[in-house]
Chains A and B, each alone.
Chain A
Amino acid sequence: MIEPLFSKDISGCAIVGIINTKGKPIKGDVITEAISVMHERSNGLGGGFAAYGIYPEYKEYYAFHIMFLDEGIKESVEAYLQEKMVLVKSEDIPIRKKMSFLNTPILWRYFLEVPQSKLTPKITEEDYVVSIVMNINKRFKGAFVFSSGKNMGVFKGVGYPEDISRFYRLEEYEGYLWTAHGRFPTNTPGWWGGAHPFALLDWSVVHNGEISSYGINKRYVETFGYECSLLTDTEVIVCLLDLMIRRHRLPIDIALNALAPPFWSEIDSMEKNMREALTALRIVYGSALLNGPFSIIIANSESMIGLTDRIMLRPFVAAKKDDFVYMASEEAAIREICPEPDAVWSPKGGEPVVARLEVQI
């Protein structure tokens, strides 16, 4: 495993997401077909998937996917996990061992529980898990937690997304929500941790773009104790969402407005309540504004959200068919798996598309 040399991830990319709002399972090959249509948008230096609803038998436990440089670092991280968490199950992540990729790390997954004794009124279970993840990523050189939610998992590596899917045998998984990413980095070496999605707890983000405001977004989340260990701009989006939605309890729509707010000229002409709300939002959460070209698909166990920057400098298309909602960089990717959608549209810059799960999983 190679650590990143550059602190900024410059890349063009392909993204796609599918959700079944009734929670019906979708097989991993479906999203693989969609992302592979956009092969030209990646260059073989990064592909990845996030899947929700894939570990129903362990849905009460935090599923950590960790990549290790060698057995030595794996042992020390495992000792640390034993000390801090209750280990329910530990196993290797199933892969096709014959496929060869650049710098393939050791890939392992753990199902973990938080010991109640570690919690205080000030530290919630989720805060505790976040701190464990940050600690491993920051302090254990050669180890990297790339997935830490419940009943969900991230699978990623250095390769074209369709190859990464085969490598992880994703056709064997079923989930109600999938996102995928194909990467076209211009400057990072083949580091597995640098591929998308980025995830923290059950939040995951696939991102096409470059965040011109990264420097301040990063410093902003750092004041709240987040550590951007990966040094890539996408990770900061996950931290911002975790901060605003989980810790500050902002309504999701409001938090999305902080990431891509309307222009002042629009806010000034809104009716009073909305004007006051958004004015305050921009005043207080200005450092959370994501500036620069991006389209992203954000997911958690309850929803899938698509968002572009305020002036839509990256492509983004959404579609609907029965219980399914699709989002992608290109319409072709959606048509590949859903030839005749009920509706296809290209949302306005900064206008989120939110697809919520309508059932309890």
Chain B
Amino acid sequence: MNFSYPEFLVKVSENCIKCRRCIKECSFGVFSWDGEKIKINHEKCVACHRCAACCPASAITILKYPVSFKENHLWTEEILRDIKKQADTGGKILTGCGNDKPYPVLWDKMLIDACQVTNPSIDPLREPMELRTYLGKKPEKLEFWHDKSGEIKLTTVMEPQIKLETPVIFAGMSYGAVSLNVHLILARAAKELGTIMNTGEGGLPQELLPYKDHIVVQIASGRFGVNLEYLNSCAAIEIKIGQGAKPGIGGHLPGEKVTEEISRTRMIPAGTDAISPAPHHDIYSIEDLRQLIYAIKEATRYRKPVGVKIAAVHNVAAIASGVVRAGADIITIDGFRGGTGASPKVIRDHAGLPIEIALARVDEQLRKEGIRHLASIVASGGIRSSADVLKAIALGADAVAIGTAALIALGCHLCQKCYTGLCAWGITTQKPELTRRLNVEEGALRVTNLVKAWNLEIKEILGALGINSIESLRGNRERLRGIDLDEVYLDVLGIKPAGR
């Protein structure tokens, strides 16, 4: 006997015109036709809202399945469901997207300052507002040379930098986890916005080559698709050590998702499982990481920044310091709210740290050690709005990476079923009938719109702060105040409480 029962209740009202579109749209098989009317299998509904969004008669409603569990704060409905599921299957519970548990969201406990009287705010519609950001290693100081005519020339040789026209970049999401159309959308949007997208660990589809100056290619423990051409077809290279949604855990793309195209891009046989081991098997310590960083720098003749992505874990500040000392030009810190295509639920929900805390600690640690200039910091993992971007930069990030937010702009409803390969919105699936639901042109416009809207809002807030360039906000924690936070949190975040 199966003890599990539906999570959602799907209702079709009398408005239904029996067009049967919902049957086509639902990739999870909720709907079928019994000859006269729509039949519903509630058990299969994941609340992705594809049917409701597409129903021409607005006849579909989706509700939480109305069974009342006896109220219990220890044995919650979710716990009961999980236990039953595991008793049914004997397996670990998989999930997608980021940690959805009610841990404190510290972004919502920080308030931004604004100018009044003594300091004029600046109108972004009338005055220039600069968001330009450079990622890469900076020298501690510059040297100049004066010639006789008074002409000044820079003599310091600068390390390679990535120029961004917005402090928002796109987070690593692999071809395989997401569809090719998602990659194309992000690449186009990145080009349009003057920013970068990240291939994730699944290699670089040939279709992305025209956008290579806006692409960061990733090297993860599976080393999929890595060769010299890959390393040289990009703006920067990122070594992925960890991911916020599953710190310490590798990846597993099931064979059925490894299509011909993905097999070519990942350079593995079609239909075989693509396994990313938990650690890199050539990195068992920090000195091994240094070797890999420099091997990549050698291979690319020191022309491209090499970044390292780590998950936010308890000792993140010391780890980040080691990574920077190992030679990373950019360090990406991914908080525990970061998304995933597939992760064991127990890890996603219980391991790691909020990005707010990790970011604050890493920035402070690098400054204390006098090595903050050696690497740019990218913060990711649950960035939801321009306010989050702004607060992250004020805490010390050079830029933030968004993944989930960009996918939501494309239709994602956070149903957390990415690992099934059935995404009805064509995002985390390889089925051609589903991926073609995502129109590249329209998608690129939507993502571009999102970031442009955030840029406008960031400029608006900068103006209110009396600041006309993003670098004057970077690490400027003086303009943040904590509300509803105890002294320990305030200390860790390095901000004052509201009222001081």
Write the residues of chain A forming the contact surface with B, with a CB cutoff of 8 angstroms: 7-8, 10-12, 186, 210, 212-216, 218-220, 222-224, 247-251, 253-254, 263-265, 273-274, 276-277, 280-287, 289, 291-293, 310-311, 313
B467 touches A280 (CB 8 A): no
10 A-B pairs with the lowest CB-CB distances in the bound complex, closest first: A215-B478, A286-B471, A213-B472, A291-B472, A215-B476, A248-B141, A216-B476, A212-B466, A210-B119, A277-B154
Q: Which residue of A lies closest to B364 (CB)?
A: A219
- Shortest C-beta distance, B329 to chain A (Å), equals 13
Partner of A251, one of B122, B130, B152, B370: B152
Complex contact B466–A291 (CB within 8 A): yes
Q: Does B469 contact A (CB under 8 A)?
A: yes
Nearest-neighbor residue (CB-CB) of A220 within chain B: B475
Question: Please, which residues of chain B bring their CB within 8 A of the CB of A219?
Answer: 367, 475-477
B301-337 Cβ-contact flags toward A at 8 Å (1 or 0)? 0000000000000000000000000000000000000
Smallest CB separation, B82 vs chain A (Å): 45
Which residue of chain A is the closest to B117 with respect to CB atoms?
Answer: A186
Interface hits, B84-134 → A, CB 8 Å: 115, 118-120, 122, 127-128, 130, 132, 134
Q: Which residues from A are CB-within-8-Å of B284?
A: none
Q: Which residue of A lies closest to B146 (CB)?
A: A251
In the complex the two chains form, what is the Cα distance from A264 to B129 in whole Å?
10
List residues of chain B with CB within 8 A of the CB of A291.
466-469, 472
User: Which residues from B are CB-within-8-Å of A274?
Assistant: 152
Which residues from A are CB-within-8-Å of B17? none
Residue pair B144, A277 in contact (C-beta under 8 Å): yes
Q: A251-B152, A311-B122 are in contact. Are A216 and B144 (CB under 8 A)?
A: no
Contacting residue for A292 out of B130, B466, B474, CB 8 A: B466
> Complex formed: what's the CA distance from A71 to B11 in Å?
85
Q: Is B373 an interface residue (CB 8 A)?
A: yes
Residues of B contacting A265 in the complex (Cβ-Cβ under 8 angstroms): 128
Residue of A nearest to B119 (CB): A210
Residues on A with C-beta less than 8 A from B128 are: 263, 265
A212–B132 touching, CB < 8 Å: no
State in angstroms the CA–CA spacing of A250 and B142 once bound together: 7
Q: Which residues of B lie under 8 Å from residue A254 when comparing CB positions?
A: 142, 144, 152
- Chain B residue nearest to A275 (CB atoms) is B154
Please give, as numbers and ranges, the residues of chain B lying within 8 Å of A7 by CB-CB distance: 478
Contact of A289 with B472 in the complex, beta carbons under 8 Å: yes
Contacts of B394 on A, CB cut-off 8 Å?
A: 215
Which chain B residues border A283 with CB–CB below 8 Å? 134, 138, 158, 161
In the assembly, what is the distance between CA of A215 and CA of B367, in Å? 14
Q: B154 to A280, Cβ gap below 8 A?
A: yes
CA distance A265 to B128 in the complex (A): 9
- Shortest B134–chain A CB gap in Å is 5
The reply to whether A273 and B152 form a contact with Cβ atoms under 8 Å apart is yes
Q: Are B156 and A280 in contact (CB under 8 A)?
A: yes
- Choose one: A186, A216, A273, A284; the contact of B118 (CB below 8 Å): A186
Q: Which residues of B contact A313 (CB under 8 A)?
A: 120
Of B153, B158, B475, the contact of A216 (CB 8 Å cutoff): B475
Total residues of chain B contacting the partner, CB 8 A: 44
Contact indicator A292/B134 (Cβ below 8 Å): no
Q: Which residue of A lies closest to B116 (CB)?
A: A10
Chain A nearest CB from B46 CB (Å) reads: 45
- Cross-chain contact B367 with A292 (CB below 8 angstroms): no
Closest to A209 in B: B119
CB contacts under 8 Å to A, within B458-481, are 465-469, 471-479
**Contact (Cβ within 8 A) B142 A281:** yes
Instruction: List chain B residues, Cβ under 8 A from A311.
Output: 122, 127, 468
Known: A212-B467, A213-B467. A251 touches B144 (CB 8 A): yes
B474 contacts A287, CB within 8 Å? yes
- Within the complex, what minimum Cβ distance (angstroms) separates A30 from chain B? 30
Q: Is the CB of B151 within 8 A of A273?
A: yes
Residues of chain B within 8 A (CB-CB) of A216 are: 471-476, 478
Q: Does B56 contact A (CB under 8 A)?
A: no
With CB as the reference atom, state the residue of chain A lying closest to B363: A219
B210: interface (CB < 8 Å): no
CB pairs A–B below 8 angstroms (28 shown): A7-B478, A10-B119, A186-B118, A212-B465, A213-B472, A213-B473, A215-B475, A215-B476, A215-B479, A216-B471, A216-B475, A216-B478, A219-B367, A224-B370, A251-B146, A251-B152, A254-B144, A277-B152, A277-B154, A280-B154, A280-B156, A283-B158, A287-B475, A289-B471, A292-B119, A292-B467, A292-B472, A311-B468
Say yes or no: A264 contacts B118, CB within 8 Å: no
Tell yes or no: B269 within 8 A of A by CB: no
In the complex, whether B139 has a CB less than 8 A from a CB of chain A is yes
Q: B372 interface residue, CB < 8 Å from A?
A: yes
Report how far A4 CA is from B364 CA in the complex, Å.
Answer: 25
Considering the chains assembled together, what is the distance between the CA atoms of A286 and B473 in angstroms?
Answer: 10
Indicate if the CB atoms of A250 and B144 lie closer than 8 Å.
yes
Rounded to whole angstroms, the CA-CA distance of A186 and B117 in the bound complex is 10
Shortest CB distance B257–A (Å): 41
What is the chain B residue whose CB lies nearest that of A309? B468
Contact assessment for B476 and A289 in the assembled complex, using a CB-CB cutoff below 8 Å: no
A11 to B475 Cα, complex, angstroms: 24
Residues of B contacting A220 with CB < 8 Å?
475
With A216-B478, A311-B127 known, 4 other A-B pairs at CB within 8 A are A215-B477, A215-B478, A285-B142, A289-B472
Q: Establish whether residues B118 and A210, one from each chain, have CB atoms under 8 Å apart when the complex forms.
A: yes
**Are B127 and A11 in contact, with the CB atoms below 8 A?**
no
Chain B nearest CB, measured from A130 CB (Å): 17
What CA separation (Å) do A187 and B486 show in the bound complex? 26
- When C-beta atoms are compared, the residue in chain B nearest to A294 turns out to be B119
Partner of B466, one of A250, A286, A293: A293
- Chain A nearest CB, measured from B364 CB (Å): 9
* B372 neighbours in A (Cβ, 8 Å): 223
Q: Is the beta-carbon distance between A10 and B118 smaller than 8 angstroms? A: yes
Question: Which of A212, A215, A263 contacts B119, CB < 8 Å?
Answer: A212
* CB-based nearest B residue for A244: B141
Contact A276 B154 (CB under 8 A): yes
Residues of A with C-beta under 8 A to B370: 223-224
Closest to A277 in B: B154
Minimal beta-carbon separation of B163 from chain A (angstroms): 9
Of B119, B143, B161, the residue contacting A293 (CB under 8 A) is B119
A292 proximity list for chain B (CB < 8 A):
119, 466-467, 472
Determine the chain B residues whose CB is within 8 A of the CB of A277 once the complex forms.
144, 152-154
The chain A residue with its CB closest to the CB of B367 is A223
Determine the residue in chain B with the shortest Cβ distance to A271.
B151
Which residue of chain B has the shortest Cβ distance to A274 in the bound complex? B152
Which chain A residues border B152 with CB–CB below 8 Å? 251, 253-254, 273-274, 277
Whole-angstrom distance between the alpha carbons of A254 and B130 in the complex?
Answer: 20
Contact B471 A273, beta carbon cutoff 8 Å: no
B472 lies within 8 A of A212 (CB): yes
The chain B residue with its CB closest to the CB of A222 is: B367
Interface string of B368-386 (1 = CB under 8 A from A): 1010110000000000000
Indicate if the CB atoms of B474 and A248 lie closer than 8 Å.
no
Give complex CA distance A8, B128 in Å. 26
From 429 to 482 in chain B, residues with beta carbon under 8 angstroms from any chain A beta carbon are 465-469, 471-479
Complex CA distance for A160 and B475, rounded to whole angstroms? 36
- B122, B146, B467, B469 interface centre (most CB from chain A within 10 Å): B469
**Chain A residues within an 8 Å CB radius of B143:** 249
Judging by beta carbons under 8 Å apart, are A310 and B468 in contact?
yes
Chain B residue at smallest Cβ distance from A258: B142
B388 to chain A, nearest CB (A): 19
CA distance A310 to B153 in the complex (A): 23
